[in-house]
A and B are shown apart, each in its own frame.
Chain A
Amino acid sequence: QKEVEQDPGPLSVPEGAIVSLNCTYSNSAFQYFMWYRQYSRKGPELLMYTYSSGNKEDGRFTAQVDKSSKYISLFIRDSQPSDSATYLCATIKAAGNKLTFGGGTRVLVKP
């Protein structure tokens, strides 16, 4: 079993819809959580970084962390075709060095 599980998709939504992405993790030592966006043949781009349970909002993006359930989510409001990409969740242990990635979810926003 992978330490971080993520549905590979693809997830197809119409433009303007809310995109809902999530990951589950198994190791309670993971304390910090990130969401990256990766366009085809490009490096990942950091979108959100959280370290406590609850919500964090940045523009159209909202990240949620529920440490009791070991569940993290990313919501994208008013989705645009330019949001079509692969979204990777990642986590790291406190005082850790290495990111552990989920497998990535491919999102397609249709105009």
Chain B
Amino acid sequence: GAVVSQHPSWVICKSGTSVKIECRSLDFQATTMFWYRQFPKQSLMLMATSNEGSKATYEQGVEKDKFLINHASLTLSTLTVTSAHPEDSSFYICSAREGLNTDTQYFGPGTRLTVL
């Protein structure tokens, strides 16, 4: 099956700093990547959808200036949490979709962010 990796797997940072999370599709080209956030014992909440070479589409209530998404290539998307605060502490998961004619999304292993 298709493999999606994320880096780092966990990160601890101080309040006010920025954190970048990478999402890579290892054995396929991902025309679309998705970023989710998951709080403990809750389901995944879609934050934004990114297509290679174009601006990301953010879900309602997600601040685009705080969560910067770049999808510069067909195998890499990045999420930067700017000026992180403790309430941004969460589990961030990306997924990737291969091609346009498929509904299957493959998920990365997630990144646990803790903001002190």
On A, residues with C-beta under 8 Å from B are 8, 32, 34, 36, 41-46, 49, 88, 92, 96-99, 101-104
Contacts and interface: CB of A to CB of B under 8 A. Distances in A.
A88 B41 CA distance: 12
Nearest to A88: B43
Contacts of A49: 103-104
Interface stretch (B14-22, B65-73, B107-115): B107-115
B116 to A, nearest CB: 19
- Interface size class, chain B: 20 to 34
B109 A43 contact: yes
Contacts of A96: 103
Nearest to A42: B109
Interface of B: 1, 4, 6, 32, 34, 41-44, 46, 49, 91, 93, 95, 103-110, 112
Contacts, number: 48
**Max chain B CB contacts within 10 Å: which of A32, A41, A88, A96?**
A41
Nearest to B6: A43
Given A41-B110, A41-B112, A44-B93, A99 B43 contact: no
Given A32-B103, A49-B104, A97-B32, A103 B43 contact: yes
Contacts of B91: 41
Contact of A101 (B32, B44, B49): B44
A26 to B, nearest CB: 16
